A and B are shown apart, each in its own frame.
Chain A
């Protein structure tokens, strides 16, 4: 350390400044150490110790003050010295915001690190893990950045060194230059201290003397704004994570975002966006102010209305007085009118009174006259009533007589009706008798003739019936005979028909058999049928090999043969029933064979199955064998040859072929069997083949005749069988035509016979129908009903009786009519009498009615007089009262008229008006209510005036307020629009500058580049073409070194459009090789030398050839402790 300081002293042109720095540093160290000591106690319980520490710190601070005073004196001297000796040399940190030094305590991997930065270019070199990046992280955190933004930790507490309680970041910034932050107060440099604990984080801003100025974050941010520091911008402080991100992808969207951040246009964008939001808020505020103003205006209007009401009060009172005067005079007028009406009424009443007096005075005289008239009417009435009674009795008597006559007349009329009815009946009977007598003779003759005729017809019909019946009997007998014949004819026809059918079937069977044999000529079993061939084949397949000896034998015919042709047919006939059979040895085999046969012989006609023991040798039958004793005689067993012993044994057991003899002549057979002496031993039968005879030996001697058919199974050659069948077929064909002819003939005979029978049946039917008709006629004639005729005498007597009855009735009727006429005459007389009596009574009644009417009239008059009198009296009294009352009212009205006139004269002169009383009263009530309302308000005009003035002042104030706000909002809006347009132009300009500078930087090594910018999509696409690559390459295909070079060139372009006190670049030479690293380092150094007002710091783990100079400082960090 001493060497470096001495070296610096030699090179520095101003030794005074160096000595000044060296003297200042120990003072800072001491003060910071004490500050660290102060920060240690964080327990609340240890208050006493805290007070002790405070006192200690106070003592330390007093010492610091003395030291700083000395320092200031020394610096002043050095400044004076510099000014006098070297005026043209600028100060090292001549810009506000540059980082002078940094101290990290317990931060990440550093326990206590202090770095002094150079003012222009700094290289911070160290191995991996030495803590280079921690410096950048501390810089960002110390200047109000968040831990998350540094990409090193999610919370700031995780950056405290392991095992420690708290960490401290202390950054000293320059405050001398173009834009100082209260330099006159705080001094040439400021220190930001950030204390990081597990539970909190605090800031402290200290001035050049180490005194705490403020602990607010907002003040620190104000300072940063003044210096133009923005640590979250990646091009100002590019940490290694951000570097990897850019180097890795270079995506268009991230490029655009980087471009906006680099040129600080994103800060402008956020500011303008916030302004836009606030402007909308201002619009709402203005609306509220407008509403408030309107409310105030309404309030003022209400107050003005109240004031106007007060002003109108006096006029309302005057109007009220006028209305009252009008009302008074109107009352006077109404009273006068009323008085006039009363006088008129009084006159009318007086007239009425006079008329009523006249009416009441005539009552008594009129009433006396009326009473006299009534008495006279009463006497007349009594006389008339007596006459009426008498006349009434007479009338009743006359009515009764008339009524009795009427009753008698009705009885007579009834009798007359009965007599007429009886007479009418007798007359009808009489007329009928006359008719019968007149027609008697003619009817009688006609009936007799008809009777005879019918009798003749009946006889003829009976004869006819007898004949018909005879004919029918004859025909029926003939028919019976023919029927018997037809039965025999039918039988013959059926026989011929059946024969024909059988012939046809036999022919067909033979043809089928021939066809089958033709198909299987080579197989001897074909004569037994195809099914048998299949069964034998299946059995051989099933019992092949060692089980051959157990195979069922069958059909048996295949094992049997006849050596002598003469006896072939005989043998077959004897063995016919078993030639198609099969022999099995056990029941199990029997069942299996049965299943096989059922399967093959599905159409029926299945061969039989015989169970017999299987043996290897033929039975020895020599002892039981019959011996032939005559010539031309052989034993049947000798004529049969059999290959299989099982079959041979079966024949011996069942048929006993060893006991049968065969002979050629009949005599020999009879000789052997007819006599018991001639019968040889063991003989059972004797056969004669050519004659078809069978002899049973005695003692059961018998002779049977059998038919021997040609052999069909026991043959050696199939062709012989075929020829035989063909011969049979030809024979059948010869027979067929003759049968056909016979059939036709018999058919014709049958038809003729049937025809005859039908004809006879028809004739019988006809005769029967004819006979039936005749019988019906006979019955009809027999049942004919002849007209009955009464006797003539009876008719005559009956006629006389009827005539007599008629006369009697006529006489009776005449008598009754005469009686009726007399009664009617008497009735007429009585009726005239009654009419007279009735007329007299009516006259009397009329008189009586007239009298009653006149009496009623008189009474009504008297009653009306009474009523009128009472009423007129009541009216007279009322009239008097009314007259009295009217006079009183007249006096009252007069008095009131005088009073009203007096009052009206007091109120005022007479005022003529056309308004009605109601309207005047309404006006009066309205004016009163107004006056009352005003009085209730208790308003003081002066107070109202004053309140109104205040309200108007307030309204004026609000209006001015609104006007001021409106004007400022408009101005802000105009300013916003101006800035927005300026922003857009600047954005285009800065993008162009960045691209130009980027292109220039790449051109140093003959790289080519093209851009595609889109502000809407917010993309900035970069296509870099290295000189050695293809034209179609893009940034992703660049090599590591080329990519790093591109990135540094981009940074150079971005730096050209921004101005920041310091630039920190971490891991700038990642993935670079030696050559590219050299170029990059040269570019960066050139950039630093070009902008002397900026401070650069490059962090790299790799060594590059860099020479320290006046503007370049190289810092080497120690290797980490492993």
Chain B
């Protein structure tokens, strides 16, 4: 029902947009024919367009989805103003065309070119300008020397091979990004399930006794899981943090907080000894070759 109503609205809006577009085309045609028609004809046509536009705008609804209709409507109004202005100017004032026609009639008579007639008419309204003759000897007028350039040899344009971007079926890096985070989440859930729903010590989980950089990577990716509320971290009895997988039932009890801790190689070794680790609990995804 809603989709059908929206569809009908879209159809109506599209219809109005088409009509506005057609009116703009008519406006352009009127503008092109403005010099051939009389002012009455032009303005009558513009009035018809205005009337039609007003009729279209009556169907306007305040809850439209986009402003295309409004843009076209204002554009049409602006063009109407411009066309009316041109029509008035063309019929009431002297235009360049009229001036050109008058000059042609005055100068070109019976296939003879007589510019003196125009000069004799214009000189009546002219005024002489003062020229200081004493400055003339100081003017150094040297004709410009035109050096003709030598003809350059024509360069042959070599044809360049066409290059196209490669189209691939999928775009993915399995060892980076969201895939890695997802993989870690799966492992944690498995460890949590195997541990009989017991919380997992945080530092035991992230430490890699063989590679410190992996420890840092684990800490970073684990933070995303915490941020997205897949897991939660709480303080244990011994003061060290514990990791727990979040269930839908216990989501309400969790609250955001901020914890800061520093991890370095010495600290990592200490944790390894504390928890007696030999192998890391989390394993990274295998690197896939492109």
- Enumerate chain A interface residues (CB-CB to B < 8 A): 1, 4, 7, 29, 33, 37, 40, 43, 45-46, 110-116, 123-126, 178-179, 222, 225-226, 228, 263-265, 267-268, 271-272, 274-275, 278-279, 281-282, 285, 288-289, 292, 960-961, 964-965, 967-969, 971-972, 975-976, 978-979, 982-983, 985-986, 989-990, 1027-1028, 1056-1059, 1074-1075, 1077-1078, 1103-1108, 1113-1118
Top 8 nearest A-B pairs (CB, nearest first) are A1074-B177, A1115-B165, A271-B74, A278-B81, A1105-B172, A1059-B66, A271-B78, A1078-B178
- Chain B residues contacting A288 (CB-CB under 8 Å) are 92
Closest to B228 in A: A1075
In the complex the two chains form, what is the Cα distance from A263 to B53 in whole Å? 22
Q: Are A178 and B14 in contact (CB under 8 A)?
A: yes
Closest to A1116 in B: B166
Q: Are B171 and A968 in contact (CB under 8 A)?
A: no
- Minimum CB–CB distance from A646 to chain B (whole Å) comes to 100
- Find A267's partner among B62, B71, B80 (CB 8 Å cutoff): B71
Q: Are B77 and A964 in contact (CB under 8 A)?
A: no
Q: Are A1105 and B28 in contact (CB under 8 A)?
A: no
- Chain B residues contacting A989 (CB-CB under 8 Å) are 62-64
| CB-CB contacts below 8 Å: B42-89 with A | 43-44, 46-47, 50-51, 53-54, 57, 60, 62-68, 70-71, 73-75, 77-78, 80-82, 84-85, 88-89
The answer to the question of B286 belonging to the interface, with a C-beta cut-off of 8 Å to chain A, is no
- Chain A residues contacting B89 (CB-CB under 8 Å) are 285
Other than the given A43-B154, A271-B78, A1075-B227, 10 more pairs (CB < 8 A) read A46-B154, A178-B14, A179-B18, A975-B50, A1057-B65, A1078-B177, A1103-B176, A1105-B172, A1108-B167, A1117-B165
The answer to the question of B26 belonging to the interface, with a C-beta cut-off of 8 Å to chain A, is no
- Chain A residues contacting B179 (CB-CB under 8 Å) are 1105
- Find A972's partner among B73, B80, B151, B157 (CB 8 Å cutoff): B80
- Minimum CB–CB distance from A291 to chain B (whole Å) comes to 11
| CB-CB contacts below 8 Å: B234-290 with A | 256, 258
Q: Given that A965-B88, A972-B81 are known contacts, is A1027 also in contact with B256, CB under 8 Å in the complex?
A: yes
Q: Are A961 and B91 in contact (CB under 8 A)?
A: yes
Q: Are A964 and B39 in contact (CB under 8 A)?
A: yes
- Minimum CB–CB distance from A967 to chain B (whole Å) comes to 7
In the complex the two chains form, what is the Cα distance from A268 to B69 in whole Å? 10
In the complex the two chains form, what is the Cα distance from A43 to B228 in whole Å? 67
Q: Are A268 and B74 in contact (CB under 8 A)?
A: yes
| CB-CB contacts below 8 Å: B193-249 with A | 224, 227-228
- Minimum CB–CB distance from A199 to chain B (whole Å) comes to 16
- Find B84's partner among A112, A115, A968 (CB 8 Å cutoff): A968
Q: Are B84 and A969 in contact (CB under 8 A)?
A: yes
Q: Are A112 and B161 in contact (CB under 8 A)?
A: yes
In the complex the two chains form, what is the Cα distance from A976 to B81 in whole Å? 10
- Minimum CB–CB distance from B161 to chain A (whole Å) comes to 7
Q: Given that A289-B92, A990-B67 are known contacts, is A1113 also in contact with B18, CB under 8 Å in the complex?
A: no
Q: Are B57 and A978 in contact (CB under 8 A)?
A: yes
Q: Are A265 and B73 in contact (CB under 8 A)?
A: no
Total A-B Cβ pairs within 8 A: 213
- Find B67's partner among A43, A263, A289, A964 (CB 8 Å cutoff): A263
- Minimum CB–CB distance from A233 to chain B (whole Å) comes to 11
Question: Per DSSP, are chain A's interface residues mostly helix, strand or loop, or mixed?
Answer: helix
- Find B74's partner among A225, A267, A1057, A1114 (CB 8 Å cutoff): A267
Q: Are B160 and A111 in contact (CB under 8 A)?
A: yes
Q: Are B166 and A1115 in contact (CB under 8 A)?
A: yes
- Minimum CB–CB distance from A42 to chain B (whole Å) comes to 11
10 contacts between A and B (CB under 8 A): A275-B81, A278-B81, A281-B85, A964-B44, A971-B47, A982-B60, A1028-B258, A1058-B66, A1108-B167, A1116-B171
Q: Are A282 and B84 in contact (CB under 8 A)?
A: yes
- Minimum CB–CB distance from B56 to chain A (whole Å) comes to 11
- Chain B residues contacting A281 (CB-CB under 8 Å) are 85
- Chain B residues contacting A1104 (CB-CB under 8 Å) are 171-172, 177
In the complex the two chains form, what is the Cα distance from A985 to B91 in whole Å? 38
Q: Are A1113 and B167 in contact (CB under 8 A)?
A: yes
- Minimum CB–CB distance from B55 to chain A (whole Å) comes to 11
Closest to A179 in B: B21
Residue of B21, B64, B67, B172 most packed against chain A (CB within 10 A): B67
Q: Are B162 and A114 in contact (CB under 8 A)?
A: yes
In the complex the two chains form, what is the Cα distance from A1103 to B174 in whole Å? 10
Q: Are B227 and A968 in contact (CB under 8 A)?
A: no
- Chain B residues contacting A1057 (CB-CB under 8 Å) are 65-67
- Find B81's partner among A178, A274, A967 (CB 8 Å cutoff): A274
In the complex the two chains form, what is the Cα distance from A179 to B84 in whole Å? 26
In the complex the two chains form, what is the Cα distance from A1098 to B103 in whole Å? 60
Q: Are B18 and A222 in contact (CB under 8 A)?
A: no
- Chain B residues contacting A292 (CB-CB under 8 Å) are 92
In the complex the two chains form, what is the Cα distance from A119 to B46 in whole Å? 39
Q: Are B160 and A1108 in contact (CB under 8 A)?
A: no
Closest to A43 in B: B154
- Minimum CB–CB distance from B76 to chain A (whole Å) comes to 9
- Chain B residues contacting A179 (CB-CB under 8 Å) are 17-18, 21
Q: Are B18 and A178 in contact (CB under 8 A)?
A: yes
The answer to the question of B3 belonging to the interface, with a C-beta cut-off of 8 Å to chain A, is no
The answer to the question of B34 belonging to the interface, with a C-beta cut-off of 8 Å to chain A, is no
- Minimum CB–CB distance from A978 to chain B (whole Å) comes to 7
Contact with A along B21-40 (1 / 0, CB 8 A): 10010001000000000011
- Chain B residues contacting A110 (CB-CB under 8 Å) are 163
In the complex the two chains form, what is the Cα distance from A126 to B62 in whole Å? 44
- Find B46's partner among A268, A968, A976 (CB 8 Å cutoff): A968
Residue of B164, B165, B258 most packed against chain A (CB within 10 A): B165
Q: Are A115 and B43 in contact (CB under 8 A)?
A: no
Q: Are A985 and B167 in contact (CB under 8 A)?
A: no
- Minimum CB–CB distance from B78 to chain A (whole Å) comes to 4
- Chain A residues contacting B28 (CB-CB under 8 Å) are 222
- Minimum CB–CB distance from B153 to chain A (whole Å) comes to 11
In the complex the two chains form, what is the Cα distance from A646 to B113 in whole Å? 145
- Minimum CB–CB distance from A962 to chain B (whole Å) comes to 10
- Find A271's partner among B21, B66, B75 (CB 8 Å cutoff): B75
- Chain B residues contacting A1028 (CB-CB under 8 Å) are 227, 256, 258
In the complex the two chains form, what is the Cα distance from A124 to B28 in whole Å? 39
Q: Are B63 and A274 in contact (CB under 8 A)?
A: no
- Minimum CB–CB distance from A838 to chain B (whole Å) comes to 109
- Minimum CB–CB distance from B9 to chain A (whole Å) comes to 13
| CB-CB contacts below 8 Å: B168-191 with A | 168-173, 176-181
